[in-house]
Amino acid sequence: MKSEAAFKFLPFSNKQKKLLTWWVEGSPYAEYDMIIADGSVRSGKTVAMIDSFLMWSLDSFENQAFIIASKSVGALKRNILRPMFQILAAKGIPYRYNRSEHFVQIGSNIYYCFGANNEASQDVLQGLTAAGALADEVALFPQSFVEQMIARCSVAGSKIWMNCNPESPYHFIKTDYIDQAKEKRILHLHFTLDDNLSLSEEIKERYKRLYSGLWYKRMILGLWVLAEGVIYDMWDESKHVVREVPKLDNEWITIDYGTGNPTAFLHQGFSQQDKKYYTAREYYYSSRETGIQKTDAEYSKDLQHFTGGKRKTVIVDPSAASFIAQLRKDGFMVIEAENSVLDGIRWVASLLQQEQYAVHDSCSNTIKENATYVWDQKAQELGQDKPLKQKDHAKDAERYGLYTNRWLLDRAETVTGKQKPRKWGSM
């Protein structure tokens, strides 16, 4: 495999040093069973945790198995394995990465890699006996996976390592682990931007500008707070609604498909002229209002009219299998939307906060639904952040288009599927 460049270590903060050394002999926490590092984005918790986990596992065990998990295998490779290999390279420690079977061998120890994106993910852990686990962004894991992961760590002296950004105060990581840290022998470390000494004051201020409202409290202050009220509380028609849309250099159609529910098509794109995303036009049909349900073929025909006969790239809710099949049959290039709801909402909120996204004033439903796109209070009581499923179809389509485009760009692709270098503002 291609070796990673060695990690360039910078001075560690006191909080990072505590994370690095909590397990060593003489530490007041050496007998603790678990550590949880939570707090703001870019606060330095992840790299320090990877380094500490590696050194602990190599110092404490031989011929043992370990668990490394993230929300998905892709996220694990980007956020854990890459810096992990850089740290190993910097310390001159050889390793072998088996891509096909998703494990890393360091010395005689084996580190098995897992994605934890749904309730079925826990099944792959069954039967494994581990000496420890590292869980990155654990608040995004299903509870069943976390419980199974902890149960698998049954070797004497095993320890659990977790990190995350805050979610709801009713989230199980908060209520079952952080709030019970003392009783369960868990070391809880709370990180802020100031705990990452590699960040300049200018960069810290930039991160603070990226968020507002709920996201500022969670991502910058690192607080476990409720998601309440309107989702896009930074929406301002004077800033985000325009009468003219400039030339779009990259365009697509994004769709939220409904049978009994409304169906929304949005024509979106990115303009190099002012470095902004736009929703330029919309189509909105509600069978509840008309009393007439359209077929997949009829919606496809409507889409052909909406695009003026041009076969633009179409981003569609991945659950709309029959409609996707119809569109492909009719010659459309279909991309199944990246439907990570909270990640998508955060991205749209960030664009609005930075005034990098606007909606044409003819898109009445896209504009109107900002007032009804609210958090589900009942889901909050279960520790889940979810939009209330009412009058949200244009908002869902909006999120599919903007976030899927960003998701593809993160993989050096545009929505047309062609390899293309990233440009400032189009990310």
Contact in structure between 395 and 235 (CB atoms under 8 Å): no
CA distance linking residue 322 with residue 413, whole number of Å: 26
- pLDDT given at position 6: 65
pLDDT of residue 1: 46
Q: What is the pLDDT of residue 121?
A: 86
Give me the pLDDT at residue 31, please.
95
Q: What are the per-10-residue average pLDDT scores of the chain (427 residues)? A: 63 94 96 97 94 97 97 90 94 94 96 91 92 97 96 97 95 96 97 94 92 90 92 94 94 92 95 95 91 93 92 89 95 92 92 96 96 91 88 95 83 41 31
DSSP 166: -
Instruction: Note the pLDDT of residue 118.
Output: 83
In the chain, domain spans: 14-199, 237-409
Q: What pLDDT does residue 312 have?
A: 77
CB distance 98 to 36 below 8 Å: no
Please say whether the beta carbons of 341 and 386 come within 8 A: yes
Give the C-alpha separation, 79 to 427, whole Å.
Answer: 18
Rg (CA), the chain: 23
The predicted pLDDT at position 411 comes to 53
In terms of CATH architecture, what is 237-409?
2-Layer Sandwich (3.30)
Alpha carbons 134 and 161: distance in angstroms, whole number: 5
DSSP one-letter code for 241: E
In 3D space, the residue among 142, 160, 138 whose CA is nearest the CA of residue 151 turns out to be 160
Which amino acid does the sequence have at 133?
A
pLDDT at residue 423, rounded to an integer: 33
Write down the pLDDT at residue 419: 37
Q: Contact at 8 Å (CB) between 268 and 251?
A: yes
pLDDT at residue number 291: 82
CA atoms of 306 and 370, how far apart (whole Å): 23
Would you say the pTM of this structure is higher than 0.75? Answer: yes
pLDDT for 4: 64
- Give pLDDT, residue 3: 58
One-letter amino acid at 67 equals: I
Query: In the CATH scheme, what is the code of domain 14-199?
Result: 3.40.50.300
* pLDDT attached to residue 420: 38
Closest CA to 3 of 113, 78, 86, 109: 86
